[in-house]
Amino acid sequence: MRFARFRSWSNSLIARLPRPSAATQQALGLAAVVTQAGIGVTGSVVRVTGSGLGCSTWPQCHDGSMFPVEHTEYETLNQWIEFGNRLLTGIVGIVAIACVLAAWRLHLEARGRPRLVKLAVAVLAGTGFQGVLGGITVRLELLWWTVALHFLASAVLVWVAVMLLHAFREGEAEPRWLVPDIGRRLLVGLVASLAVVLTAGTFVTGAGPHGGDPETPRLDVPIALLTKIHAGALVVFLGTLVLLGLTSLRAAGSRRFTRRYALLWTAALAQGALGSVQYELGVPEPLVSLHVLGSALVVIATAALWCAARDRGALPPLAASSPEPAAARAE
């Protein structure tokens, strides 16, 4: 009974919010993608500058202080780099909350948007989980596998954010695939191979020189071997992408699918070239952050290609009724 009352009250409250325009929905979706990708890049800046323990605890920066302070063990600049990254997490959270409110408001229209709400809530919940995982990473003093999990969780959130962006402008129907069955299987294989590429990349990072703090233990595996595995996974990814093009480009008959296929090729090849240059130059700090940005762009491009491979129908019609009846209909 109490939950029903709370639900009625919250629906009534949300229904009184202005209905987000199409431009607002697009802006919120893009903001979710940009912030989820951006926080991963700023995290890499923390790592390559050795600022990962600039704030020695969490949620405080140091015991007894939420903010950087004069400290004998930690440079002030390193403290502010880590603290700034934590502040950016707040911006990511604000965007995620705004997406939930917009999705909930749209859900209260005549036909409802449950999938949109679920994706928005997933972005918000994932952001909260990332905050907790970041705290665990700091408390475990940046052990390489905690940093790896932090990065992989970020990649998943970037994917979900892209799905949310598309959900704002598509219907709730079951997906009608534009590619043949073999194309669907290759898309699944493409996503799986991307997961392997990203995971292998975290092992390379774990064995590399940039651990976030000079005293952080590194993964004791030859980095040359891990790099070959990472490169091999990329070759599998690109091979799958070739097969997808041969089997599905003409069958899909969609300019959007073709454009996104070309975009993914551009992002993947640029990322591969950047990784090779980075390795040959001894992993310089600026290229590390560029490589993390490239990883996010490859995830975005792959997710966008996935969305272009299916059609979920037209947007549900917007109700012209007042907010109060809209909330009542949601019940």
Residues 6+ away with beta carbon under 8 Å from 74: 53, 54, 55, 56, 62
Q: Is the pLDDT of residue 267 over 80?
A: yes
Instruction: Please give the share of the chain, as a percent, with pLDDT higher than 90.
Output: 53
Q: Note the pTM of the prediction, 2 decimals.
A: 0.88
Q: Where are the domains of the chain?
A: 1-143+314-331, 175-311
DSSP state of 311: E
Q: Is the pLDDT of residue 320 over 80?
A: no
Beta bridge mates, 311: 176
Average pLDDT over residues 307-326: 69
pLDDT at 318: 63
Confirm or reject CATH 3.30.530 for domain 175-311, answering yes or no: no
Q: Give 213 or 232, the one with higher predicted confidence.
A: 232
Tokens of 217: 């233990």
DSSP state of 111: S
Q: Is the pLDDT of residue 319 over 70?
A: no
* Band of residue 325 on the pLDDT scale cut at 50, 70, 90: very low
**Per-residue pLDDT tens for 43-77?**
888 877 877 778 878 778 888 888 888 777 778 88
Q: Is the pLDDT of residue 202 over 80?
A: yes
**Per-residue pLDDT tens for 77-126?**
888 888 888 888 899 999 999 999 999 999 888 567 899 999 999 999 99
* Band of residue 258 on the pLDDT scale cut at 50, 70, 90: very high
Answer yes or no: are the C-beta atoms of 283 and 209 closer than 8 Å. Answer: yes
**CA pair distance 278, 289, nearest whole angstrom:** 11
Q: Is the pLDDT of residue 308 over 90?
A: yes
Average pLDDT over residues 234-243: 97
* Band of residue 212 on the pLDDT scale cut at 50, 70, 90: low
pLDDT at 32: 97
Average pLDDT over residues 166-179: 92
Q: Is the pLDDT of residue 10 over 80?
A: no
pLDDT at 76: 81
What Cα–Cα distance (Å) separates residue 270 from each residue in 15, 143, 264, 295?
A: 45, 30, 10, 10
